[in-house]
Amino acid sequence: MNPERLNTEASFAALCRVSPVECSSGRRTSRRLSHGGYRQANAALHRVLFTRLRHDPRTQAQLPGRP
Name the residue ranges covered by the structural domains of the chain.
Answer: 8-62
User: 3-state DSSP helix/strand/coil percent for the chain, to nearest 5?
Assistant: 50, 20, 30
Grouping H, G, I as helix, E, B as strand and the rest as coil, residue 52 is: helix
So what's the pLDDT on residue 21? 74
So what's the pLDDT on residue 41? 76
For residue 17, is pLDDT > 60? yes
Displacement of CA 59 from its chain's centroid (Å)? 14
For residue 28, is pLDDT > 70? yes
- pLDDT band with cut points at 50, 70 and 90 for residue 26: confident
- Identify the H or E element spanning 15: helix 9-16
Rounded-to-integer distance, Cα 30 and Cα 12, Å:
22
Q: Global pTM?
A: 0.50
Rounded-to-integer distance, Cα 64 and Cα 41, Å:
26
So what's the pLDDT on residue 33? 67
